[in-house]
Amino acid sequence: MAFTAKDVMALREKTGAGVMDCKRALTDADGDMAKAADLLRERGIAKADKKASRIAAEGIVACYIEGKTGVLIEVNCESDFVAKNPQFSEIATEVAKVIVKENPANVEALLTCACTEGTVEEYLKSKIAIIGEKIAVRRFVRYESEGFLESYIHLGGKLGVMLDMGGEATDAAKEVAHDITLQIAFTKPAYLTKDEVSADTLEKEKAVLKQQAMNEGKPEAIAEKMVMGRIKKFYEENCLMEQAFIKDDSKKVSDLLKGANTSIAKFAFFVMGEGLEKKSEDLSEEVAKQVAAMKN
């Protein structure tokens, strides 16, 4: 029995399997929709869709650099056990390679890019079927450097840094770049330079600092003068170029760059799971849910 593209899409919507998997199942089932759905379940592919509602708040941050192009990516799963599995790191690297090659605009576009097994979406679903947990690409950044790239991954993927450096990749420049990736991981700067701080952010910060001084009992006129000194500290804490070097606080990061005749074009910094809510259930709630499921 023949089948159409509409049949493929209907099966995909029903099972959550990838387009190519649905085509193969319909071919093997001679176009029988119900039989094709059963085949997908038997092959462990359709079950991937059932995991879509699960919370994927574990995972890793990984970096892949190919020549002058690099990708920093966060891929999430459900458990720390899976996140520590070398196979999971391979998944992150495989997806990062696609980003290097295809340069998708966002995660949604990435899922439609060609991969080793159909599209990235289909590739991930095939891995979900094997691993048994939801896997999701949360975010990524892709750099094409005119100089060279440096990266640092901490604690097996708990946080990651990618640095786009200007100039030639001399030994001195590479050493400084490595030190600065450690600096970023330790201090977590929000900006590269003072110029990146928006006027709105600056005014809000000044208002907070002024109120802090007034709460300390300072007159308003004195509080306003104190703000200027405290804004300097704000820059030193939040702007990478203004920070004291963590290995030698007599130097600024900007001093290191000058000494090595190099510069920073931009940087990316991801903390795995930052902002994600992790599922938290006590044992009694979990047992109650299992009992309720058995009754249905």
8-state DSSP, 69: E
Provide the token pair at 283: 């044992």
Give the model confidence (pLDDT) of 42-65 as tens digits: 776 765 555 555 667 899 999 999
Residue 276: per-residue pLDDT:
75
CATH 1.10.8.10 fits 5-50, yes or no: yes
Residue predicted with more confidence, 285 or 223: 223
- For residues 229-256, give the mean pLDDT: 95
Instruction: Compute the distance between CA of residue 119 and CA of residue 125 in angstroms, rounded to an integer.
Output: 10
Give the model confidence (pLDDT) of 130-144 as tens digits: 898 999 999 999 999
Provide the token pair at 243: 């920070």
- For residues 81-92, give the mean pLDDT: 95
CATH 3.30.450.20 fits 54-144, yes or no: no
pTM: 0.75
Question: How would DSSP label each residue in 102-154?
Answer: H--SSHHHHHTSEETTEEHHHHHHHHHHHH-S--EEEEEEEEE-SSEEEEEEE
Question: How would DSSP label each residue in 5-62?
Answer: HHHHHHHHHHH---HHHHHHHHHHTTT-HHHHHHHHHHTT-THHHHTTTS---EEEEE
Q: Where are the domains of the chain?
A: 5-50, 54-144
Contact between 273 and 59 (Cβ < 8 Å) = yes
Closest CA to 89 of 133, 59, 110: 59
Residue 282: per-residue pLDDT:
42
Answer yes or no: is pLDDT of 289 > 70.
Answer: no
Using 50, 70 and 90 to split pLDDT, how confident is the model at 290? very low
Using 50, 70 and 90 to split pLDDT, how confident is the model at 11? confident
Using 50, 70 and 90 to split pLDDT, how confident is the model at 284? very low
Answer yes or no: is pLDDT of 83 > 50.
Answer: yes
Residue 49: per-residue pLDDT:
53
Mean pLDDT of the chain: 88
Round to the nearest angstrom and report the end-to-end CA distance of the chain.
36
Residue 41: per-residue pLDDT:
74
Residue predicted with more confidence, 292 or 208: 208
